[in-house]
Every structure is written in structure tokens, then in C-alpha cells.
């Protein structure tokens, strides 16, 4: 049984041979996901968790807009912004921006609950064929959307991670932070049997149905190993990694993550790989390739 990504037309209808489908057949001969003969519209949902980012939020959203204008592989988009009970001006700035943009939605967390909780709230509101996570600081460059989204929009991938360690432009920063990152990716790979180079990357893009059916529980930075452990539980998923730029910030510039987050990540890797089964990872009845 085949179905079209994103319109989910089933096998019986995926037969009108066009250049588009010939291409799909060539590229996807081993896959159960195809593109049907029509150029189906692809909607992108961007989830932006925001906590005390008054200095960067306007700039990052401007860069997001700029990148979306150039993006040829999608036909529409929505932005889900989640204010995580910021104590600075972030919420006020977001409220002003959302008023002017129809495709933006603002969610407000009642208490500060962490990046994971913000992402979970955001994902639940998405309607796109593709869901992408975007941090609200300026460490990641939205220009990379093209390379991140294209494999999904073309139906070649189910999940795409952006790797900061394969990119051409990465800021030179803390050695021990880098080692911690490498160690967490290594440990995660040992359990998931995936050969990722950057498990902790913010730039993760998913087929919308997969991420919306994933049962996520982490409130803080454990969300990264959790999502990675859970995608690894569906062996047929086509997971890709693409090179991205990274403009890391220093602690003086606002970096918040620290060694305690590293320790929680180790626990999250064990918990979500070893102590969590498939039935606790995806909603009942979800079949990614039906």
C-alpha cells in the first residue's frame, strides 16, 4: 500500500503517470510514501518556544519571514509562538507581532515550564504537513529551511535533523560544551542505533502526522533525546541529517544551558530508550505508513 505525501491519496489513485510521478518513482522506489500526480500543496508549521528573548525575538522572526519568502518547496505556512511565561518584554512584543500576522498564533504558558513543555503545547496546535522547531535566539539561521524542509516536502524523508557539526559556518566556542554535546549524541546513538552527529540540535523537522502522534512528556531540554529515542522506535522511518550553520552565543550573550541540563539528558536517554516502550511513545492506532 502506498500513499501520497502530503495529500495521503492512496495507492489506487497514485497511478496517473506524469513527470512528477516518474520522478517520485525513481527517487522513492523502496519507500511506501510517494507523491501523487498532482503537485500537492505542502504546509509548513514552525514552532517557536520563547523564554526571555526580548533582545532577539523580532530579529529572528524577520529572518524567518525572509527565509519563508525564498522557500520554493512549500505552499503555505503557520507560526506557533509559545511564550513560556517570560519575565521580560517578550510577551508584549509577541502580542504586537501576532496582531499583524494572520498566520501567527501566540500561546501563553501560565507558568514557566521549560522548552520541552513549550514545544509540546506548540506541536498540539500545528496543522502542517511538516513541523519544524525554531529557537527564539539567533543561534540558528532560518536560511537553512530550504535544505531542512526539501527532503520532507519531496516525500523522501520522514524526519530531518540539521547538524551543526556538518555545517560550513559554526562559531568556535566552548570545548567542554562541545565534548558534552558529542558525548550525549554518542550515548543516544548507542541506544537508538542511529548514526546522528548532532542529537541536541534545535533544527528538527518532522512529517506532521508523526510528531503530532508522538507522546511527548519532557518539560525541559530532555525533549531532544526524547524525540530522538521515539523516532528510533519506528524502524521504517527515513531519517536524514543535513548541514546547518550555527552562530552559538556565549553565557554573557544569554546562553542558558549548563552541565545540569547535560546530566538530565543522560537520564532522558536511558529513560526514553530503555524504560519506554512503543505503546507509550505513539498514540494508539497510529500507523505511520498505512
Residue 139 contacts ligand GTP per CB under 6 A: yes
Kindly give the interhelix angle for 90-100 and 57-70, rounded to the nearest 10 degrees: 30
Query: Beta strand pairing status for 159-163 and 204-207?
Result: antiparallel
Residue 222 contacts ligand GTP per CB under 6 A: no
According to CB under 5 A, which residues from 127 to 146 bind Mg ion?
135, 137, 139
Nearer to ligand GTP, 84 or 226 (CB): 84
CB 239 within 8 A of CB 194: yes
The three cell numbers of residue 109 are 504558558
Residue 50 contacts ligand GTP per CB under 6 A: yes
- Least distance between ligand GTP and beta carbon 256 (Å): 4
Residue 121's binding partner among Mg ion, ligand GTP, none (Cβ under 5 to 8 angstroms by kind) is: none
Distance, in Å, from the CA atom of 195 to the CA atom of 190, rounded to the nearest integer, reads: 9
- Least distance between Mg ion and beta carbon 138 (Å): 9
Distance, in Å, from the CA atom of 205 to the CA atom of 227, rounded to the nearest integer, reads: 11
Per-position DSSP letters for 74-100, written without gaps between them: -SEEEEEEEE---SSSHHHHHHHHHHH
CA 191 to chain centre: 21
According to CB under 6 A, which residues from 250 to 289 bind ligand GTP?
255-257
- Least distance between ligand GTP and beta carbon 67 (Å): 17
What is each CA distance from 120 to 83, 162, 213, 241, in whole angstroms? Answer: 12, 20, 11, 23
Residue 114's binding partner among Mg ion, ligand GTP, none (Cβ under 5 to 8 angstroms by kind) is: ligand GTP
- Least distance between ligand GTP and beta carbon 22 (Å): 42
Q: Which of 7, 54, 105, 135 binds ligand GTP (CB under 6 A)?
A: 135
Distance, in Å, from the CA atom of 113 to the CA atom of 236, rounded to the nearest integer, reads: 33
Draw the binding track, 89-128, toward ligand GTP (x: CB under 6 A; -: no contact): -----------------------x-xx--x----------
Q: Which residues bind Mg ion (CB under 5 A)?
A: 135, 137, 139
Q: Which residues bind ligand GTP (CB under 6 A)?
A: 49-51, 53, 84, 112, 114-115, 118, 135-137, 139, 202, 249, 255-257
Amino acid at each position: 500500500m502506498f500513499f501520497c505525501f502530503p495529500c495521503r491519496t492512496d495507492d489506487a489513485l497514485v497511478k496517473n503517470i506524469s513527470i512528477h510521478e516518474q520522478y517520485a518513482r525513481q527517487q522513492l522506489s523502496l519507500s511506501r510514501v510517494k507523491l501523487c500526480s498532482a503537485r500537492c500543496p505542502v504546509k509548513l508549521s514552525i514552532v517557536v518556544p520563547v523564554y526571555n528573548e526580548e533582545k532577539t525575538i523580532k530579529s529572528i522572526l524577520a529572518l524567518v519571514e525572509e527565509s519563508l519568502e525564498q522557500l520554493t518547496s512549500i505552499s503555505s505556512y503557520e507560526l506557533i509562538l509559545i511564550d513560556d511565561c517570560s519575565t521580560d518584554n517578550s510577551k508584549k512584543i509577541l502580542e504586537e507581532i501576532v496582531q499583524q500576522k494572520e498566520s501567527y498564533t501566540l500561546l501563553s504558558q501560565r507558568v514557566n515550564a521549560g522548552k520541552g513543555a513549550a514545544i509540546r503545547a506548540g506541536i498540539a496546535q500545528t496543522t502542517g504537513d511538516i513541523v519544524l522547531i525554531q529557537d527564539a535566539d539567533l543561534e540558528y539561521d532560518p536560511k537553512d529551511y530550504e535544505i531542512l524542509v526539501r527532503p520532507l516536502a519531496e516525500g523522501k524523508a520522514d524526519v530531518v535533523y540539521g547538524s551543526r557539526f556538518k555545517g560550513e559556518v559554526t562559531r568556535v566556542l566552548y570545548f567542554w560544551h562541545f565534548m558534552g554535546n558529542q558525548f550525549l549524541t554518542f550515548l543516544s546513538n548507542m541506544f537508538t542505533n542511529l548514526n546522528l552527529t548532532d542529537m541536541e540540535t534545535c533544527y528538527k523537522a518532522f512529517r506532521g502526522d508523526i510528531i503530532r502522534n508522538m507522546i511527548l512528556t519532557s518539560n525541559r531540554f530532555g525533549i531532544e533525546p526524547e524525540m530522538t529515542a521515539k523516532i528510533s522506535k519506528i524502524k521504517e522511518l527515513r531519517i536524514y541529517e543535513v548541514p546547518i550553520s550555527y552562530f552559538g552565543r556565549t553565557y554573557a550573550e544569554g546562553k542558558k544551558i549548563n552541565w545540569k541540563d547535560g546530566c538530565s539528558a543522560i537520564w532522558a536517554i536511558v529513560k526514553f530508550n530503555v524504560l519506554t516502550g512503543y505503546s507509550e511513545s505513539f498514540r494508539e492506532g497510529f500507523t505511520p505508513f498505512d
